[in-house]
Amino acid sequence: MLQISAIFRYRLSHIRPNARCLCPKVSPKWLLILFLLPSQASSDNDIEPFSAEYAITRSGLNIERKVELTRSGQHYHLTASTRLKGLGSITGIGKLVEQSYFQLRSGRIRPELYTADDGTENSKRTIRIEFDWSSGTSQVHYRGTELSMPLTPDALDPLSFELMARIDLQQGVTEPLYTVHEGDQLRPYRFVLEQAETVMIGGRSVESLRYFIDRKSSRQLYYWMSPKFGYLVVKFKQMRKGKLKAEGVLTRSSFKP
């Protein structure tokens, strides 16, 4: 969130292009979206700066995640910081900070740089991806290893893909598919719409759509995204072999539905 899935790649011992577009034929999944859409959806391609905070539980630990998007001209900076709370804060585990720098070109996100650092100054626990679009390659530092990997024209980083999904969902794409550069590999991420659900946030009911994020992984990731919040992720859950591994819910945001 945001790359929420990124926090699952860090051990706590240390710190089809356009899947589907609008068409006259009305499907059950499209009816779900029509039912939950706000009275007037944004029609432009700009991404409004925002902030959001999440409360997460993982392996019995309480975690706080803060996400913020800022903008300077055509340049965007997305930051997500994750830290332990309560008794977990005295373990000495540092704060994981992810950053994404990107531009918006013709309504599509084009990443320039992604970094992930847990504050330990251990190069084997950091990730840095530089996107060189002129050469069609990426220069990567991935946990102590230097790599050079080819880029696909639509490649996104582990934070910006969620923002791209929000843009596409508001434009009517029901099940978007992206190629996400994870540092050591390019992986497909497909948003599979499952059903509408109500999420409780601070005692308030928020209507949302539940998506299974199909990453061809043994870990199952689910997002609850609210159309009235601009498809912001309001809840997420990770499962593995039928067991809950982590769960998070939105606690505060700058959105005013």
Range with the poorest average pLDDT among 41-45, 56-60, 132-136: 41-45
Task: Name the region of 106 (left: φ>0; alpha: ψ -120 to 50; beta: rest).
Answer: left
Of 43 and 236, the structure prediction assigns the larger pLDDT to 236
Query: How much is the pLDDT for 4?
Result: 54
What's the DSSP call for residue 8?
A: G
Each residue of 141-167: pLDDT tens digit? 998 999 999 999 999 999 999 999 999
For the cut 50, the answer to whether the pLDDT of residue 35 exceeds it is no
Q: What is the pLDDT of residue 15?
A: 33
Is pLDDT at 196 greater than 80 in this prediction? yes
**CA distances to 36, 62, 88 from 93, in Å:** 40, 13, 8
How far apart CA 162 and CA 112 sit, in angstroms, is: 16
pLDDT tens for residues 197-254? Answer: 999 998 899 999 999 999 999 999 999 999 999 999 999 999 999 999 999 999 999 9
- Helix (H/G/I), strand (E/B), else coil: 17: coil
Q: pTM higher than 0.85, yes or no?
A: no
> What integer pLDDT is reported at residue 1 of this predicted model?
39
DSSP 42-107: --S-----EEEEEEEEETTEEEEEEEEEEEETTEEEEEEEEEE-GGGGGG----EEEEEEEEEETT
Give the pLDDT of residue 13: 38
Average pLDDT over residues 39-66: 80
Question: For residue 223, what pLDDT is reported?
Answer: 98
Classify residue 143 as left (phi > 0), alpha (psi -120 to 50) or beta: left
In order of 34, 51, 179, the CA distances from 230 in angstroms are 14, 13, 22
| Structure-block tokens of residue 110 | 């084009």
Give pLDDT, residue 225. Answer: 98
